[in-house]
Amino acid sequence: MNEADIERAIREKHLTSARVTPQAVDDQIVSAKYHNFPNTTVTVCCLILKNGFTVVGESACASPENFDEELGKQIARDNARQQIFKLEGYVLRNRIHNGEITEGVAA
């Protein structure tokens, strides 16, 4: 199930409580910087967020013959982006815990 399928299922099931959405995650990203280590299949993506915080994701393939720079960048970015979900989830849970929003209300 990809992200679009998950979002569709959430809407179909009318799951409307506060949650971190893919759009909310994407809205935090200001820019991305990539680095491929020379003579390797390792690609690193550093996402810079609105508040200046950074998250890093990486990708690598076992066989150099399978290395594709653009695919490596996308996988590294996806891995970095997943970390934002965790961070935003923590912030949201704190807001719920502190009574700033209720669990039954979309954020």
Q: How confident is the model at residue 106 (pLDDT cuts 50, 70, 90)?
A: low
Predicted pLDDT at 16:
85
User: What single letter denotes the amino acid at residue 28?
Assistant: Q
Q: Is the pLDDT of residue 103 over 80?
A: no
Query: In sequence order, which ranges of the chain are alpha helices (DSSP H)?
Result: 3-12, 22-28, 69-97
Calculate mean pLDDT across residues 5-27.
93
Q: Note whether 43 and 69 are within 8 A (CB).
A: yes
The mean pLDDT value for 25-53 works out to 97
Element housing 44 (H / E): strand 43-49
pLDDT digits (tens, 9 = 90+) for 43-86: 999 999 999 999 999 999 999 999 999 999 999 999 999 999 99
d(CA 75, CA 81): 10
User: Quick one: pLDDT band at residue 102, thresholds 50, 70, 90?
Assistant: confident
Burial 74-93 (b: 16+ CB within 10 A, else e): ebbbebbbeebeeebeeebe
pLDDT of residue 40: 96
- The CATH number that domain 3-97 falls under is 3.30.160
CA distance 33 to 54: 10
Q: What is the pTM of this model?
A: 0.88
